[in-house]
Amino acid sequence: MATYQHSKELNNLTLGKSTEYCSEYNPNLLQAVPRSLNRDDLSLQSNDLPFVGEDIWYGYELSWLNNKGKPIVAVAEFRFPCTSPNLVESKSFKLYLNSFNQSKFSSINEVEEALVKDLSATAQTQAEVTLFNVEQCPALAIKLTDQETICIDEEDVTIESYHFQAELLSQVQANSSSDNVTEKLVSHLLKSNCLITNQPDWASIFIDYKGKAIDHAILLKYLISFRQHNEFHEQCVERIYCDLQQYCQLEELTVFARYTRRGGLDINPFRSTHLTHAPIMRTLRQ
């Protein structure tokens, strides 16, 4: 699993290495990771993906100086389509955002334009950037799931291994009836580890599907099996999506992970058979 972990593309990253922080605007700090690395492992072709979706990032520590040298702060929303050739490596993203700290910009629009230009160049597709006042960011208002969402974390399961086991899903469908059901499920127990640094990544994962009923206990055991798994956020979500489709052959499927922030950034991958934009919702952990 994750046989690409020592690829030359990853070996050249600053992630996991000692670095100095730069406080002067420097777009050259950004580094890209080809999405093809883990998609090859999942047998996904970039021109024929089985899903649509996007990666939504929120930046909580963005600051710059106005023309008079006064600091300005904002919360940033970044959106990257899942079809982009590259994802932005998170440590380089943090270093890049820090480079705004002591740089002067004439307006918030100038900052947005710089962010769009640099991030689009790194992802090799059009990135979307929106900057919010730290007291008025509707996208980050606490908005939980609707009452139909079922939390599967109370399932009484016995866990004997914490290593990834996709084959657990071979028994995930609870019955063999031909009738389809529609369910909205959430688990707050998803934990994986950074592919390079092995630091823990924590998330709430939302699974909305239409198809034969999924056994909640088996699904929970599968999600817990990521606990010692090493992969980037986006890659974990695509693996979950592909595994559910492989073993369950669902008519509709949406997988959305809200990860907790690290270093002022959180990453929230969203993949779906039919929905292109992630819903606005988050828990207290985000």
- What domains sit in the chain, N to C, each tagged with a CATH number? 8-139 (3.30.1130.10), 150-272 (3.30.1130.10)
pLDDT at position 1? 57
* 3 state DSSP class of 119: helix
Is 0.85 topped by the overall pTM? yes
Comparing CA positions, the residue from 84, 85, 95, 77 lying closest to residue 28 is 95
Pick from 153, 223, 239: which is nearest to 191 by CA? 223
Residue among 214, 138, 203 nearest 175 (CA): 214
Q: Which position has the higher pLDDT, 128 or 16?
A: 128
- Specify the pLDDT at position 83: 96
Active site residue 82: no
Q: Is 151 a catalytic residue?
A: no
What average pLDDT does range 239-260 have in this prediction? 96
Q: Which of 82, 194, 242, 248 is catalytic?
A: 194
Band the pLDDT of 85: cuts 50, 70, 90. Answer: very high
Q: Indicate left, alpha or beta for 142 from its phi (over 0: left) and psi (-120 to 50: alpha).
A: beta
Q: Tell me, what's the pLDDT at 259? A: 95
Q: Which of 55, 82, 118, 201 is catalytic?
A: 201
Tell which residue, 133, 115, 130, 154, has the closest CA to residue 30. 115
Give residue 241's pLDDT band: very low, low, confident or very high (50, 70, 90): very high
Question: According to the model, what pLDDT value does residue 195 have?
Answer: 83
Q: Which of 6, 43, 38 is nearest to 235 (CA)?
A: 38
Distance separating alpha carbons of residues 216 and 203, to the nearest angstrom: 18
Q: Residue 76's beta-bridge partner residues?
A: 59, 131
pLDDT tens-digit profile of 167-181? Answer: 999 988 766 567 889
